[in-house]
Amino acid sequence: MDIKLKCPVCGKELTDDGKTLKCSKNHSFDRARQGYINLLPVQFKHSLDPGDTAEMLRARRRFLDSGKYTPICQSVFEAMEKYTPQAPKVLDIGCGEGYYTARLKALRPGEYIGIDISKEGARMACSRDKDILFLVATASRLPIADSQLDCVCAMFSLLMPDEYARVLKKNGCVIEVTVGNDHLKELKSIIYDEVFPQDKHPADYNGLFEEVHRQEHGFQITLDNPSLKDLLLMTPHFWRIRKERRELLEATDSLDLTVHYWVRVLKKK
Ligand SMILES: C[S@@+](CC[C@H](N)C(=O)[O-])C[C@H]1O[C@@H](n2cnc3c(N)ncnc32)[C@H](O)[C@@H]1O
């Protein structure tokens, strides 16, 4: 791996002997049996088990493996083809169980790192592709040295402009996927009495980036009952839904849904 990592405790460069990452101050981090490395020291955790739960991640895996969101991957790949060099160095931030990280690497080969604050996410992600380095870490303190990457992918994930700018090379880019107003509107109208718009486009990205691409995408999917349950479980709606609405959804045989999202490319200035 050419991408230089830095110690999450002291910020010194980490060296890798294949089993352990170590810095010159002797902070060391072992590779887990599955291959991921935990670079989230306990002092930077806000809870015992931060991030998505195992149950959410398993539902996400089943749902994404069904191929229903393949067009989203294709949209990101097309942006990558246009805005990243051959064999790019890529960070997938909030990679979850690794579906997009692995698919994007297959479509646009290069050096990939996936980071998630959920240990279970990094653990599951390792089974997707052994040549991707999956790390448990937080987006707000990336364990990556300055100016290492060509691209940061933030898919339905966090936006940390200062950290992304720091780890990107000059002219590197963030590819950001965010949900549009109509995303899963049919599901939301069952869950909520009132549905509020949620297009999220941070205006200036702290002045560190220039927006070079912005495109709206949409398509329709039909979900059967098991896929509908998985979709519900992998989204934050699961935690908000009232019991009688959940029971209604759990008894629904099939539902037509709108998938609506934006892809933006932000080039580092
Ligand atoms: C909505 S999910 C998106 C997962 C994946 N990108 C996808 O689209 O399938 C957001 C992910 O961000 C992770 N996450 C939340 N806070 C984080 C943080 N501070 N640093 C890194 N990952 C975080 C969660 O554990 C979760 O896996």
Q: Is the pLDDT of residue 8 over 60?
A: yes
In a domain, 1, yes or no: no
Q: If pLDDT is split at 50, 70 and 90, which confidence band does 168 have?
A: very high
H-state helical runs in the chain: 54-65, 70-83, 99-107, 119-125, 161-167, 185-191, 225-234, 237-240, 243-250
Task: Report the residue among 73, 157, 162 best suited for mutation to probe ligand 1: largest number of ligand atoms under 8 A from its CB.
Answer: 157
Domain total of the chain: 1
Q: Is the pLDDT of residue 203 over 60?
A: no
CATH value at residue 82: 3.40.50.150
Nearest atom of ligand 1 to the alpha carbon of 57 = 27
In a domain, 112, yes or no: yes
Quick one: CA dihedral 123, 129, 130, 131, positive or negative?
A: negative
Q: If pLDDT is split at 50, 70 and 90, which confidence band does 101 have?
A: very high
Q: Quote the ligand 1 centre to 254 CA distance (angstroms).
A: 28
The predicted pLDDT at position 52 comes to 84
12-28 pLDDT, tens digit per residue, is 999 999 899 999 999 99
Nearest atom of ligand 1 to the alpha carbon of 155 = 6
Q: Quote the ligand 1 centre to 138 CA distance (angstroms).
A: 9
Nearest atom of ligand 1 to the alpha carbon of 51 = 25
User: 109 has which bridge partners?
Assistant: none
Q: Quote the ligand 1 centre to 212 CA distance (angstroms).
A: 25
In a domain, 28, yes or no: no
